Chains A and B, each alone.
Chain A
């Protein structure tokens, strides 16, 4: 059969985000896939060098649209480490609760994209609606739906408003109560299983070799989670477990995501119960216009909903960062792993596999 070159994206119905893959196909089979990123390259790290430490906050959160909160966190962690700032106890709890909410919202967005791709429109509508409920919480807390700029060096911007904890609990009960429905319509559905089982297989050896992190490696059975390995915020204060699966295919990855979402909901309940009632939520930092950070470099990392997120940051003792480099989980997922596991699959499964790896294009391009 003749080999054809097929352009998948950036304007394509099966593509979530501004990303493109060039496929060499023979019939319906993919022979070779070449990722073609760069549609969203803005040169963030260069722009950061021209702005002061505080000015960078509105900028960095735009690196990942789907969950800007972890990017804020990692940048704050970097600044805190360089400047030697401590976070007060209550600030840590609020950070954890906020980040877990962001994780649930982001997973729901992923669920929307995934079920939309497989043709489960009902589930897609549910997921989007439930995500919106969480965005309403964010709006009340921070004033913005998507880009919150809530975490700052030394803690968070403001305390929870009165009765906010109850609202979180109520919202999460609404979402949690829907999980049996999600299961019966989607995760236990025969069609879903047929479309995902054995698709996009990534075994342990290859996953390690190609730098898989996050749910991609957890779906092969390893409990690799930075929240456990190097706890930050208040993740070491409560009991929780890392959900894993064995299969390593799209099905296991999706179920890992679902289990993670449920685990996050439980974790938020525990964190709210244990959160100190009184106390400050942030440490005072110097005047942002004059703030100089001592010379040095640091590497910090955290677990975003896609996997290990890192930041290598260098200061030359001035008002602006000298160099910052984000290590984003989608980078190896979207460029190395995707290219490798697409070979041999069907064209119909490209979007499916890409979403199961949770590739977000702006995170790759930065």
Chain B
């Protein structure tokens, strides 16, 4: 272990723990998922960075939205996101979640993901290379250090607005609100 970090570990163990064990939900949302297998296998080996896929959202703290989000997927994304324990971080992978990407005029994909769930960081590109994931992960570390990766708090504080936006596109949702 890096000796310089020792003090940090002692002072803020929880933060350091979150930082170095990012468990990504296993959810293939769009075409960006094709770059995840190379990332987690030998060539790029994401486990060097502590990133590893987790089977269920209940054990995960990183949600990589890998690509375009259709309305049907949005529903399952919201459900998955709400199941994850806090603190949780979301990263949008590819141009599609940022602004619709090349499906800007499609009737069935949403254009700005951050209007429906909070997103902590974006990786631009269509499709981004695996290296970009690592850059994003190191950025996320910095953000966690500085308490800037606080999307989950934002979700809690502005839940009404998020829920209203979700219901605007999906019609009334068939599960009760997460926060009252």
State yes or no: do A and B touch (Cβ within 8 Å). yes
- Write the residues of chain A forming the contact surface with B, with a CB cutoff of 8 angstroms: 10-13, 15-18, 38-43, 46-47, 50, 58-59, 62, 65-66, 109, 112, 124-125, 128-129, 131-132, 135, 145-147, 362, 365
B103 touches A18 (CB 8 A): no
Which of the candidate stretches B10-18, B20-28, B151-159 sits at the interface with the other chain? B20-28
B103 touches A42 (CB 8 A): yes
Q: List chain A residues, Cβ under 8 A from B29.
A: 18
Q: Among A11, A135, A365, point to the contact of B76 (Cβ < 8 A).
A: A11
Q: List chain A residues, Cβ under 8 A from B73.
A: 10, 18, 39-40
Q: What are 26 inter-chain pairs, A to B, with CB distance below 8 A?
A: A10-B76, A11-B80, A13-B56, A18-B28, A18-B29, A38-B72, A40-B70, A40-B73, A41-B70, A42-B103, A42-B108, A42-B109, A43-B106, A46-B107, A47-B105, A50-B105, A65-B34, A125-B42, A128-B38, A128-B41, A128-B43, A129-B41, A132-B38, A146-B34, A362-B31, A365-B70
A11 touches B57 (CB 8 A): yes
Flag B122-139 by CB within 8 Å of A: 1 or 0 each. Answer: 000011010000000000
Q: Among B41, B76, B126, B127, point to the contact of A125 (Cβ < 8 A).
A: B41
Q: Among A13, A58, A66, point to the contact of B55 (Cβ < 8 A).
A: A13
B129 touches A47 (CB 8 A): no
Q: List chain B residues, Cβ under 8 A from A42.
A: 68, 70, 103, 106, 108-109
Q: A47-B105, A147-B127 are in contact. List 12 more A-B contacts (CB 8 A).
A: A10-B73, A38-B70, A40-B70, A41-B70, A41-B72, A41-B108, A47-B106, A59-B102, A132-B43, A145-B35, A146-B127, A147-B126
Q: List chain A residues, Cβ under 8 A from B41.
A: 112, 124-125, 128-129
Q: A11-B57, A39-B76, A50-B105 are in contact. Are A65 and B43 (CB under 8 A)?
A: no
Q: List chain B residues, Cβ under 8 A from A17.
A: 28, 33
Chain A nearest CB from B109 CB (Å) reads 6
- Write the residues of chain B forming the contact surface with A, with a CB cutoff of 8 angstroms: 25-31, 33-35, 37-38, 41-43, 55-57, 68, 70, 72-73, 76, 80, 102-103, 105-109, 126-127, 129
B34 touches A128 (CB 8 A): no
Q: List chain B residues, Cβ under 8 A from A46.
A: 106-107
Q: Which 8 A-B pairs have the closest CB atoms?
A: A128-B41, A65-B31, A11-B27, A13-B55, A65-B34, A39-B73, A125-B42, A42-B106
List the A residue with the shortest CB-CB distance to B44.
A132
User: Complex Cα distance A109/B37, Å?
Assistant: 9
User: Complex Cα distance A129/B130, Å?
Assistant: 13
A43 touches B102 (CB 8 A): no
Q: List chain B residues, Cβ under 8 A from A39.
A: 70, 72-73, 76
Q: A59-B102, A124-B41, A128-B41 are in contact. Are A11 and B26 (CB under 8 A)?
A: yes
User: Complex Cα distance A131/B30, Å?
Assistant: 20
User: Complex Cα distance A66/B31, Å?
Assistant: 9
A62 touches B102 (CB 8 A): yes
Q: List chain A residues, Cβ under 8 A from B109.
A: 42
Q: Among B26, B126, B127, point to the contact of A13 (Cβ < 8 A).
A: B26
Chain B nearest CB from A71 CB (Å) reads 12
List the B residue with the shortest CB-CB distance to A58.
B102
A65 touches B105 (CB 8 A): no
User: Complex Cα distance A226/B126, Å?
Assistant: 32
User: Complex Cα distance A58/B126, Å?
Assistant: 10
Chain B nearest CB from A160 CB (Å) reads 23
User: Complex Cα distance A112/B57, Å?
Assistant: 23
Q: Which residue of A11, A43, A58, A129 has the most chain B CB atoms within 10 A of its CB atom?
A: A11
List the A residue with the shortest CB-CB distance to B68.
A42
A40 touches B102 (CB 8 A): no
Q: List chain A residues, Cβ under 8 A from B108.
A: 41-43
Q: List chain A residues, Cβ under 8 A from B129.
A: 145
User: Complex Cα distance A40/B31, Å?
Assistant: 9
User: Complex Cα distance A158/B29, Å?
Assistant: 33
Chain A nearest CB from B44 CB (Å) reads 9
Q: List chain A residues, Cβ under 8 A from B55.
A: 13
Q: List chain B residues, Cβ under 8 A from A50.
A: 105
Q: List chain B residues, Cβ under 8 A from A365.
A: 70
User: Complex Cα distance A128/B80, Å?
Assistant: 28
List the A residue with the shortest CB-CB distance to B107.
A43
User: Complex Cα distance A129/B35, Å?
Assistant: 12
Q: List chain B residues, Cβ under 8 A from A128.
A: 37-38, 41-43
List the B residue with the shortest CB-CB distance to A47.
B106
List the A residue with the shortest CB-CB distance to B80.
A11
List the A residue with the shortest CB-CB distance to B31.
A65
